[in-house]
Amino acid sequence: MCGIAGYFRLNHNRELDRDLITRMVNMIVHRGPDEFGLFRDADCVLGHARLSIIDLSTGQQPLANEDGTLWITFNGEIYNYVELRPELEKAGHKFRTKSDTEVIVHAYEQWGVDCVKRFNGQFAFAIYDKNKGSLFVARDRLGIRPVFYTIHDGVFYFASEIKSIFCQSSIPRRLDFKGLDEIFTWWTTSPPRTAFENINELEAGTLLEIKDGNIRKSAYWQMEFPDSYDNTRPLSDWAEELHELLVDSVRLRLRADVPVGGYLSGGLDSSATVALIKRFTDTKIETFSIAFQDKAYDESGYQNQMAEYLGTNHHQITCTYKDIAENFPGVIWHAERPILRTAPTPLMMLSGLVRQNDFKVVLTGEGADEIFGGYDIFKETLIRRFWARDPNSDWRASLLKRLYPTLPLSGARAKFYLQTFYKAGLADIDEYYFSHIPRINTTTKIKDYFTGEVKNQIGDHDSLGVFGSGLPDGFYRWHHLARAQYLEAKSLLSGYLLSSQGDRVAAANSVETRFPFLDHRVVEFGAKIPPRHKIFGLKEKYVLKKAMARELPKEIVDRVKQPYMAPDSNSFFQPDSPSYVREILSNRALESGGVFNPSFVTRLNAKCAKLSHAHLSFKDNMSIIGILSTQILIDQYIDNFKPAGKLGRDAFTTWHDEISETHAKVKKSGS
């Protein structure tokens, strides 16, 4: 995992800023503090901040092909580079490093932009082709590694993080209120939209090519499900093939020239990942986990049980209310968008624990829930579709109580809550977002706090429909579980879990996370598995549990999933809460920000303070976190943004300056 940045001129009459790249790279130094590199000529400037993981001695970037006509800056890993290299050598390509980066360059020479279809990995890269006068930018299939871009004054700017782009001071920094509208509907924007006006995110599984001033984007992959399933194949066969795929996925993701550890939450997914790592090493695995002061969120008992069972050298950090409040502004700085829960904060602390123990790489179980039906939203979908056939049936509605037997309400109140909350939208069974209506209804409460001006600027923007454009041709023929899985992966997985809760909080501490369950082979295989093998009755991830039964203790395999969460509003309304909370939620700050109605927020603040030792409703919790994170974002990126200073030439391991070399040659010749 590294940081990439650069710019490419679309107009040949426009001269490029020669020094901007050093500020852009310095702004994302946390992503790659080991080495820095630069390439620049009259048309293109590339920068790189490296986290050295593969080919530590010769893998510096930006990197070129043999004759210097292709240059790349690359963030991520190509796990199957070992297998691709002999094929490229046989085709006549010469290598001078042992890096996966050089494999990308030669693969592009051999196969053009279709090279991405050959890669098994997580990546974002840009290749400058001097002969063609083109720039080629690509992002991995699931959107694990980020890349953002904008066009300003005849120049195309790109970077791993938006803050790097904002180092160009002439680029306006303004919130995109339609982006906020989408975040407060889906927890994320629908790319290319971001939280900032005219700043774009390259979509997962997408290529971008620039040539002769023209920009062309095209998708090369998306999640697909079949119209029908092979129901003759026994569950045991599905489970066995899944197990083999996961073993190979873990094998590939252990490729590194530095030690690799694992996150261990105590749940099925991370336990399965660490158990499979153990197959490939005779030494103790280093594992890392979060415990919580608030026992409602704590899984440390299961974590310690699994660490003992697997014989790992386990490291654990305990997260308090105060920890969340103090670290929350740092999370927003790295997330670069409002968030609705505090869950990324402990994960940033966890990556800090990894780094403190001199590790750069960890494997994690993220992605299993989306691929194999692990979330309650999938089970809710099955029940709600069944209920929609007879909306007046109390018996059908009562099935929801089986999902939430510990709901902290009396029997009558629990029944009323479940039947009213989940009944909303039953008539919308044919809408593509049917599965997500309960979550959407909870999230959109935040919009009640918008000022009238913000509502006017949002206008008739259809935030509900943003993920409905570009649906696969067969989407409405898919099983309803498949539709829900697709939408969850398209929205929450890429836009939140792999971003605010993934890449950003790991990169904050110079740590690379790897995801065996998001190997595209596993994802594509998972899509073919019949829904009844994913959710059996109301047992989630049934086929995965069967696949991993031989590796794990029964109590871990059979335990009911505990969603990863962290204390939300409680963290910010304690006697020792940091002073910034009061300041940034004050009437003065709210009026200055111009997004939220101060009188409405004041009432919510009072409610949160009054219930600081109890639990707010989900709607109020999301509202206060969404408002607080937006206010912090405004403070950090709109009102008080401070670009990093430029790195000096001595800081760069590699410095390829064809502009300076050309000037030097001209001066020497006396021309």
Q: What is the predicted pLDDT for the residue at 389? A: 87
Do 71 and 120 lie in one domain? The reply is: yes
Residue 197 lies in a domain: no
Q: How far apart are CA 575 and CA 19, in angstroms?
A: 47
Q: How far apart are CA 652 and CA 647, in angstroms?
A: 8
Single-letter code of the amino acid located at 382: L
Do 272 and 352 lie in one domain? The reply is: yes
Q: What is the predicted pLDDT for the residue at 386? A: 87
Question: For residue 167, how far is the Cα from the chain centroid?
Answer: 23
Boundary (domain end) residue, out of 532, 558, 584: 558
Residue 14 has pLDDT above 90, yes or no: no
Confidence of residue 668 (pLDDT cuts 50, 70, 90): low
Do 550 and 585 lie in one domain? The reply is: no
Q: How far apart are CA 639 and CA 642, in angstroms?
A: 9
Q: What is the predicted pLDDT for the residue at 422? A: 82
Do 588 and 511 lie in one domain? The reply is: no
Query: CATH number for the domain including 257?
Result: 3.40.50.620
Run of H or E residues at 354: helix 344-356
Of 77-86, 129-138, 192-201, 643-652, minimum mean pLDDT range: 643-652
Residue 195 lies in a domain: no
Boundary (domain end) residue, out of 171, 198, 225: 171
Q: What is the predicted pLDDT for the residue at 395? A: 73
Q: How far apart are CA 222 and CA 210, in angstroms?
A: 22
Mean pLDDT on 437-458? 96
Confidence of residue 661 (pLDDT cuts 50, 70, 90): low
The sheet with strand 134-139 has its strands ordered as: 63-64, 70-78, 121-129, 134-139, 206-211, 214-219
Do 16 and 165 lie in one domain? The reply is: yes
Do 510 and 579 lie in one domain? The reply is: no
Residue 471 has pLDDT above 80, yes or no: yes
Do 550 and 597 lie in one domain? The reply is: no
Q: How far apart are CA 586 and CA 596, in angstroms?
A: 11
The conformation of residue 232, written as its DSSP 8-state character, comes to: T
Percent of the chain with pLDDT over 90: 85
Residue 407 has pLDDT above 60, yes or no: no
Residue 280 has pLDDT above 70, yes or no: yes
Mean pLDDT on 68-72? 97
Which residues lie below 8 Å from residue 83, measured CB to CB, with a gap of 6+? none
Boundary (domain end) residue, out of 528, 558, 588: 558
Residue 408 has pLDDT above 70, yes or no: no
Residue 579 has pLDDT above 50, yes or no: yes
Q: How far apart are CA 540 and CA 377, in angstroms?
A: 11
The two structure tokens encoding residue 185: 């509907």
Residue 368 lies in a domain: no
Residue 498 has pLDDT above 80, yes or no: yes
Which residues lie below 8 Å from residue 232, measured CB to CB, with a gap of 6+? none
Handedness of CA 623, 626, 629, 631 (dihedral sign): negative
Q: How far apart are CA 500 and CA 491, in angstroms?
A: 13
Confidence of residue 382 (pLDDT cuts 50, 70, 90): very high
Q: What is the predicted pLDDT for the residue at 1? A: 74
Do 281 and 338 lie in one domain? The reply is: yes
The sheet with strand 512-514 has its strands ordered as: 313-319, 286-292, 260-263, 361-363, 512-514
Of 1-5, 129-133, 405-409, minimum mean pLDDT range: 405-409
Residue 582 has pLDDT above 90, yes or no: yes
Task: For residue 378, count other CB atoms closer than 10 A to its CB.
Answer: 23
Q: What is the predicted pLDDT for the residue at 613? A: 58
Q: What is the predicted pLDDT for the residue at 92? A: 96
For the chain, give the mean pLDDT: 93
CA distances from 108 to 64, 80, 81, 125, 581 (A): 12, 15, 13, 12, 50
Q: What is the predicted pLDDT for the residue at 388? A: 85
Confidence of residue 671 (pLDDT cuts 50, 70, 90): very low
Query: CATH number for the domain including 25?
Result: 3.60.20.10
| Cα end-to-end distance, the chain, whole Å | 44
E runs forming strands in 66-133: 70-78, 121-129
Residue 359 lies in a domain: yes
Single-letter code of the amino acid located at 87: E
138 contacts 208 by C-beta, under 8 angstroms: yes
pLDDT tens-digit readout, 530-540: 999 999 988 99
Q: What is the predicted pLDDT for the residue at 312? A: 97
The conformation of residue 341, written as its DSSP 8-state character, comes to: S
Q: Any catalytic annotation for residue 2?
A: yes
The two structure tokens encoding residue 439: 């979550």
Domain assignment of residue 602, given as a range: 569-639
Residue 617 lies in a domain: yes
Task: For residue 522, count other CB atoms closer than 10 A to its CB.
Answer: 21
Do 339 and 310 lie in one domain? The reply is: yes
Do 85 and 147 lie in one domain? The reply is: yes
Residue 578 has pLDDT above 90, yes or no: yes
Do 144 and 31 lie in one domain? The reply is: yes
Residue 387 lies in a domain: no
pLDDT tens-digit readout, 139-167: 999 999 999 999 999 999 999 999 999 99
Classified as helix, coil or strand, 285 is coil
Residue 606 lies in a domain: yes
Do 635 and 510 lie in one domain? The reply is: no
Q: How far apart are CA 224 and CA 205, in angstroms?
A: 13
Residue 18 lies in a domain: yes
Question: For residue 317, how far is the Cα from the chain centroid?
Answer: 23
pLDDT tens-digit readout, 603-649: 999 998 887 656 678 899 999 999 999 999 999 999 999 999 999 99
Please count the structural domains in the chain: 3
Mean pLDDT on 580-599? 97
